[in-house]
A and B are shown apart, each in its own frame.
Chain A
Amino acid sequence: MADVIGDFFRELEEKGHQALLGKVIGTVQFDLTDADGTTDHWLVSVNRGDITVSQQKDLSLSKADCTIRSDKKLFEQLIKGEENAIAATLRGAIICLGNVELLFAIQRIFPGPPSKRQQQGEAMASS
């Protein structure tokens, strides 16, 4: 089965810099829980757009400024652009602890849904 979430974080690490996070300094911990109750912890540190990612086993070492909790299914939808992080937070499907500004900031790098305009653009480009 494709490891969509793992791929997302690995790509984030490989890219190294995100212009959309150019002002951000802080560490975000993602607690992502499976249907069977197991939770993966990913730690994303941002230093003025420069990003390092690590998967955490020992949480006692984590010094996150913001912890974002959701189930894995929702998180996969977020990183595919099928769900919106702010709406999900409002309905309690995402729980955000700590510095909420970091949630608002980091969700900016999630993609948008398939768009009429993008489809129009692609149709024009291919015609």
Chain B
Amino acid sequence: MTTSDQVRILNGNTFVVSDDRGDIEASSTDPTGLFSFDTRFLSRWILTINGQRLTALSTDDLQYFDARFFLVPGTGTVYIDSKQSVIRRRTVGTGFSEELSILNHAEEAIDLTVRIEAASDFADLFEVKDALEKKGTYSTQTEHGKLVLTYQRETFVRATVISTSEACEIDQDGLTFQVHLEPHNSWKTDLNVAISVPDVPDAGQDEAPSVLAWEALQAPSDMALDLQHWLEAAPRLECDWDSLRRSYRRSLIDLAALRFSPITAGGRSLPAAGLPWFMTMFGRDSIFTSLQVLPFTQELAATTLRELALRQGTRVDDFRDEDPGRILHEMRYGEMTAFEERPHSPYYGSADATPLYVVLLDEYERWTGDLALIRELEFEARAALNWIDEYANLQGNGYISYQRRNEQTGLENQCWKDSWDSIAYHDGRLPGFPRATCELQGYAYDAKMRGARLARLAWDDPDYADRLEREAADLKRRFNEDFWVADGEFFALALDVDGSQVDSLTSNNGHLLWSGIVDDDKAEAVVRHLLGERLFSGWGVRTMAAGEGRYNPIGYHVGTVWPFDNSFIAWGLRRYGFKDEAAIVAAGILEAADFFDGRLPEAFGGYPRAMTKYPVQYPTACTPQAWSTGTPLLLLRTMLGLHPVDDNLVVDAALPSSIGRLELLDIPGRWGRVDAFGRGRVDTRWRTDDS
């Protein structure tokens, strides 16, 4: 979706994608523009001087919320003789502001016609993707020194208001400035592009603004200061591996950019799924990312838990795949969602977010000791646990299964491997629905065990705790019989509609270790597979093992390596005591990060490391992706063996020997702040270089 010369800046779910000149020239299928609330508010923003486009000398977008474009008039090789420089400095807030400066380097005065063409198609993000026709009407007003672009469909109104600090002529298609510049003089104007959601036609001045308008006002007043505070609050990493320090800092900054503050959160933030196209609340992504970053910041988890609770399903609604107790999959704000042409208001088609919600709630308590929140969310946690048995047991066999009820726009695969061919038998066939993928059963087991702990600790209900533990024990016993592929010694990817095993070998086995559902006497065989040649590429564990019918080293969920997946696999390896193996996985992924300047992609190719020597990036729309951003943080946790036990943080480091010394200072939690130290001792080279 993006090319390397695109420039993207953002604040929450407002973002601007332009070319390297700062121009926006969107077509129905080209996703550039100013976007907010999943709507494109500006699809055309083109600067010309004396009728000519400009050429970029350089672009500076070091901060995620502002960018500077250094330009000269003309295109091609003409600029070499240019006597003028043009600088556009753009900052995203609740729209964007742009400071446009022109410098005359010539010995003589000059007269310039400076023009900005502006237009908006008000496309929904879903329309940008699918190139759909609009159903409403457009209008343009040029009153009071402003250019106002409006789109209306029934009661749905979105508008873009463009204003300037310097006088200009305004017409339907843009703004024109007549600029006279003396020798060695400069001129500048401030352009402001405001998004407007005028859905309160008769509200008085003193009334609070309504839903979207309110949310639009939430930009931090000083984003640079906000970022500085964010970085200062995080634990400090000292180590003699520069690459890891760079990855850590990159992750912290990207995590700051990925913060999203829903309207009901009172300014608090949760992690959105990805930048820029997935800057919204996702149950699965927000929960996994919150889990990854708990040792570093706990506010994201608290906000995730609160906001998902407020939007927890309460009724049976086939269009939204909603059930009582179900945690949402995705929330969207655009026109197609508003008119129910898409189900994202919110959409609930995720089978893992609900058990994972309880897992996060318990893990959050272990780090923070925040019993008040555990008590506040008791109702929702019980509803989530109830969903597992009441609503997700589609086949009546005691396992979570999924099958969408919205057959037009719902999701077929409601697990994290959500592409069409991700769930396949060894021979490559695809099973029918419902599907009971294995990791869902692991999450359900973990949710019941952790729910039982919370019931005793905070809800004063030991009977409920006993019941949950009995159910968990029963689930574990059945699971280890029904999903175990005896001749291969691993867990099947899923059970199909007949209760037969979908018998591919996949990375899901690592998630099972993380959940604790694996019988102790089966763990060693599972670990042998995870670190074996079919699954381990040398950089990480492949989503699907080489040799499976659907295996493809560049297939989205059938052979690529996902950093996020590996971070939870490493956590699973630690849970079962396989410290050295966890260090090997961590080393591979962190070494791969070095090839991406510390910013791990969503996925990279599953080619053997010995074959390519570097990790081959999988082309994806979204970077950074939240759970890739969280990966180095969770890997730091697993390498240091950080484990909260009551009011103490236990440290049990097992670091790759390539790291040498590592210190993580001021780790926040119920113990106040503590430091963790470790020295490299695990030789990870034997695997990563030979495979």
Contacts and interface: CB of A to CB of B under 8 A. Distances in A.
B210 A96 contact: yes
Interface in A33-65: none
A113 B345 contact: no
B211 A87 contact: no
Contacts of A97: 200, 203, 207-210
Given A20-B314, A116-B318, A87 B340 contact: yes
B79 interface: no
A15 B311 CA distance: 23
Nearest to B264: A101
A87 B345 CA distance: 6
Interface in B612-662: none
A95 B345 CA distance: 16
Contact of A23 (B318, B335, B379): B379
B316 interface: yes
B203 A91 contact: no
B211, B334, B337 pick with most chain A CB within 10 angstroms: B211
Contacts of B211: 89-90, 96, 100, 103
Given A95-B200, A96-B210, A90 B405 contact: no
B155 A115 contact: no
A112 B340 contact: no
A12 to B, nearest CB: 15
Q: What secondary structure prevails in chain B residues at the interface with A? A: loop
A87 B317 contact: no
13 contacts: A84-B317, A84-B320, A89-B211, A90-B212, A91-B154, A96-B210, A97-B210, A98-B208, A101-B264, A105-B310, A111-B315, A117-B405, A118-B316
Q: Which of A19, A91, A95 has the most CB of B within 10 A?
A: A91
Interface in A71-91: 81, 84, 86-87, 89-91
Nearest to A99: B208
B168 interface: no
A16 interface: no
B138 interface: no
A92 interface: yes
A93 B155 contact: yes
Nearest to B209: A97
A100 B266 CA distance: 10
Given A89-B211, A92-B157, A116-B405, A100 B264 contact: yes
Given A90-B212, A97-B210, A118-B316, 5 more contacts: A87-B338, A97-B209, A105-B310, A112-B322, A115-B318
A92 B200 CA distance: 8
B208 A92 contact: no
Given A19-B379, A87-B345, A115 B339 contact: no
B192 to A, nearest CB: 24
Contacts of B322: 112
B376 interface: yes
A113 B338 contact: no
Contacts of B671: none
Contacts of B595: none
Contact of B339 (A81, A87, A98, A116): A87
B187 interface: no
Contacts of B214: 100
A87 B337 contact: yes
A90 B340 CA distance: 10
B299 interface: no
Contacts of A22: 379
B199 A81 contact: no
A108 B200 CA distance: 24
B333 interface: yes
B319 interface: yes
B156 interface: yes
A124 to B, nearest CB: 11
Contacts of A20: 314
A24 B526 CA distance: 47
